[in-house]
Amino acid sequence: MVDQVIASLGKEFAIRDLGNLHYFVGIEVMYHPQGIILSQQRYIMDLLKRIGMDGAKPVHNPMSSSTKLSRNCGTPMTEPSLYRSAVGALQYATLTRPNISFSVNKVCQFLHSPTEEHWQAIKRILRYLKDTVAHGLLISKTTSQRLMAFSDANWAGCIDDHRYTGGFAIFIGTNLISWSAKKQPTISRSSTESEYQALANTTAELV
């Protein structure tokens, strides 16, 4: 069937079959007995080199659980464009690295006026990526069509405006197909309310 589609397209357009996919827009495709692994190893290494952190010491988590970033912490950066460039690159890395989604969402909140402390948070994410550069997203062969979702929220997680960040991960069978970590536009008056709102967002994505 694939050959028929390629042959039909070839009658209308100048195309060439390059065989199995291995690299596309910064995403590497590695073939595995269980399926395929989507990785951005080359992209991450290029990012580390571009920012001058290819020799940095790796760490085992992208953000300390005790870190409480705010708008006014630290001194303003002299080169805020470097911060914005790094954040944009990290956002693209979340395509195959959902485990940094929350940390990247946090540093995205300070694009308008980044400080040196915010920059340290970005450098920690980059050091974590260096430690786990070979990690990727496994898309495995499965006959299960079961939808599963996980949801969470950190009530009043932002110390500036007390809004919470909600997140979800949605699977079909064993395959992760959708994920998000997003700061919500409203303030919840209780942890129950924030969890309920996060569940409502997850349900909307499931539908």
Q: pLDDT tens-digit profile of 80-108?
A: 999 999 999 999 999 999 999 999 999 99
Domain of residue 156: give its range.
144-207
- How do residues 10-22 score in pLDDT, each as one tens digit? 999 998 888 888 9
- Tell me: do 92 and 38 sit in the same domain: yes
| pTM as predicted | 0.86
Q: What's the rounded Cα separation, in Å, for the pair 35 and 29?
A: 10
Please tell me whether residues 42 and 120 are part of one structural domain: yes
CB distance 177 to 171 below 8 Å: yes
Q: Say whether pLDDT at 46 is over 90.
A: yes
Pair 129, 27 in one domain? yes
**What pLDDT is recorded for position 2?**
87
pLDDT for the residue 98? 94
Per-residue pLDDT, averaged over 167-192, amounts to 92
Residues 129, 206: one domain? no
Q: Which two tokens stand for residue 196?
A: 């309920």
pLDDT at 172 exceeding the cut of 90 = yes
* d(C-alpha 196, C-alpha 206), whole Å: 15
Let me know whether 65 and 152 are in one domain. Answer: no
Query: Which tokens go with 73?
Result: 């912490």
In the chain, the number of structural domains is: 2
Q: In sequence order, which residues have a C-beta less than 8 Å from that of residue 21 and are 6 or more positions away?
A: 29
